[in-house]
Structure 1
């Protein structure tokens, strides 16, 4: 099996954190989003992962190397493809056509999940969905009485279904999917000026392909600051057993850590209360602070902070008051300065 990961989006809703780091590489509970995504799929797929293909933007050599290392850790071949223009979900998959062979899982690196990952080999594919309150912002599906999908509709203006596609798909034949993607691109069939995967899926369905439904227990968004902080807390809670022991290089002095929390290497915490649901990246230093429900990245300094529902980037500095903030990489916010 292969995993195809389209991840070329700019992540503009998560700025300023995505100005210096691509959104799929933002750490959640100590691991990049995309690493958690492919590890979760590999864990529940039930068969070896042969290749992981990442479809990226112009992210640079350092990012490409990190992605190849993620694949290598899972015993898979890593492949990198570049999507030069944001022309839609089908166009993104087209960029990885060379790797689209055999059975594949396609997983867009926007969200994390907890799901029943039973791959129904009797159907042509599995589409994972989740009920949502406002389906107009998503691709949705309709079902027949037997639970098979009867329609794929992209961002419906009028209500047709509340079953939103979460961006994870299994296909028994990647080649058949590519035939439809090539057809819609050759004939310039667009929705909203983009080539949509749902168009290819609807074409396959009309030709007799049977798609079954995947059950999702939890769909965790990382689209903006609030959603990302919430997802960080959920992952910490789901996997709290992994975070009970702190690394030997961490120094906790005169402080209270309320689990679940992630504490990275070389973290220093002095005279502070941390948690619950806080991640502190490698090399971060916290003094005289009270922090809960927050995501703090690497090599950051916080002194006299009283933070909740906050997200602070890498190599930032915060000296201050009670606040909910979103502070990007290399930023300084000092409420004690007289300047």
Structure 2
């Protein structure tokens, strides 16, 4: 089994946090988004993951090493490939065409999920979906009486289905997917100026490929600051019974921790209240502060703060008390 993760986008909706760090490496409950994604996909697969191919821009050697390490942690080889131009989802996946072989999961890296199923690897293909109240903003799938997918419909204004495609796909035959994507590129088949995966899915379906849905129990977006903070909250609820969410090297002095929280290595918390739903990154410090429902990244200092529904990046120095923030890396705010 292989996992293909397109993640070359600029993450503009997450600025300023993505000016120095690619969006998929922003932490959720102490782990990068893309690491959470890879680990959660591995949990629902019956088979070991032999390779994870990350499709990226030129993010630098440190980021590439971090991504390879994420693959290593699940016992897989990490492969780095580059997407030089943003030409659509089909084009992005084809940047990793050497990895499109055998059983493949394609997962776009701004989506996390909670699933209670095991992936049916005997199916031709599986599209992961969630039921939504208003499907007009999503691509959806339509099913027949046997539960197989008959149509892919983009943002239907009239109701055809409430099963929204979340951006994760399984293919039993990666080489077949590769040939269908190559057909789009060779024949310049584009939709709104881009090569789209859904066009390949439609062609495969018309040739007899049987796609089925896999319904997840919760779909978590990491597209902007508020959504990412909410995803951090939900993840902390999922994993609140796990060991090690508060590092043994963390130092708490005259402080209160309201679970669930994540507190990283060498964090110092003095005269403060942390939680619920706060993640505090390695080597950060809090003094005379209240931090809840927020993500604080590494090497950040907070003094006299009352912070909620917020994201603070790495190497931030903060000494004010607004209640709703979005601060990027290396910022300093003084009262």
Q: What's the secondary structure of 1:279's corresponding residue?
A: strand
| SS of alignment partner, residue 112 of structure 1 | strand
Residue pair 1:278, 1:293 contacting (<8 A) in 2 also = yes
Distance 1:306 1:63 in 2: 32
Task: Please report how far the alpha carbon of residue 236 of structure 1 lies from its aligned counterpart in structure 2 after TM superposition.
Answer: 0.6
Stretch of structure 1 that moved more, 211-220 or 153-162: 153-162
Greater displacement, 19-28 / 42-51: 42-51
- In 1, are the aligned partners of 2:246 and 2:261 still within 8 Å (CA)? no
In the alignment, what sits opposite 1:311?
A: 311
Counterpart-to-counterpart distance in 1, 2:86 and 2:159: 27
d(CA) in 2 for partners of 1:188, 1:155: 24
Note the residue ranges of structure 1 that are not aligned, 5 or more in a row: none
- Report the equivalent of 2:208: 208
Distance 1:77 1:122 in 2: 24
> Structure 2 matches for 1:83-232, cutoff 5 A?
83-156=83-156, 158-232=158-232
SS at 1:310 equivalent: strand
SS in structure 1 opposite 2:242? helix
| Equivalent position of 1:40 in the other structure | 40
1:50 maps to what in 2? Answer: 50
Higher deviation after alignment, 272-281 or 56-65: 56-65
Aligned equivalents of 1:117 and 1:86: distance in 2? Answer: 33
Tell me the equivalent position of 1:289. 289
Deviation for aligned residue 1:72? 1.3
Deviations 1:212-233 (A, max 9, x none): 1101101111000000000001
**Which range moved further: 161-170 or 226-235?**
161-170
Q: 1:192 to 1:162 in 2, by over 3 A?
A: farther
Give a deviation string over 1:215-261, Cα, whole Å, max 9, x none: 11011110000000000011111000225662222110000000000
User: Displacement, 1:323?
Assistant: 1.8
- How far 1:121 sits from its partner (Å)? 3.9
Matched, 1:68 2:68: yes
- The alpha-carbon deviation at position 56 of structure 1 amounts to 0.6
- Asked whether the equivalents of residues 245 and 262 of structure 2 are also in contact (C-alpha less than 8 Å), the reply is no
1:301 alignment counterpart:
301
TM-score, normalized by length of structure 1?
0.95
Partner of 1:9: 9
Q: CA deviation digits over 1:273-302, x for unaligned, max 9? A: 110000000011100011111110000011
Check conservation: 1:10, 1:18, Cα contact below 8 A.
yes
Q: Displacement, 1:139?
A: 2.3
1: CA distance, partners of 2:283 / 2:70: 22
How many residues are treated as equivalent by the alignment? 335
Whether 1:330 aligns to 2:330 is yes
- Give, in whole Å, the separation in 1 of the partners of 2:334 and 2:135: 42
Superposition RMSD in Å? 1.4
Q: Could you tell me how far 1:263 is from its partner in structure 2?
A: 0.4
CA distance in 1, matches of 2:253, 2:46: 44
Between the aligned partners of 1:244 and 1:42, the Cα distance in structure 2 is: 21
Q: Within 2, Cα distance between the matches of 1:305 and 1:208?
A: 59
Deviation at 1:104, TM superposition (A): 0.7
Distance (Å, rounded) in 2 between the aligned partners of 1:91 and 1:155: 21
Q: Confirm whether residue 254 of structure 1 aligns to residue 257 of structure 2.
A: no
Q: Distance in 2 between matches of 1:311 and 1:283?
A: 16
3-state secondary structure, aligned to 1:298:
coil
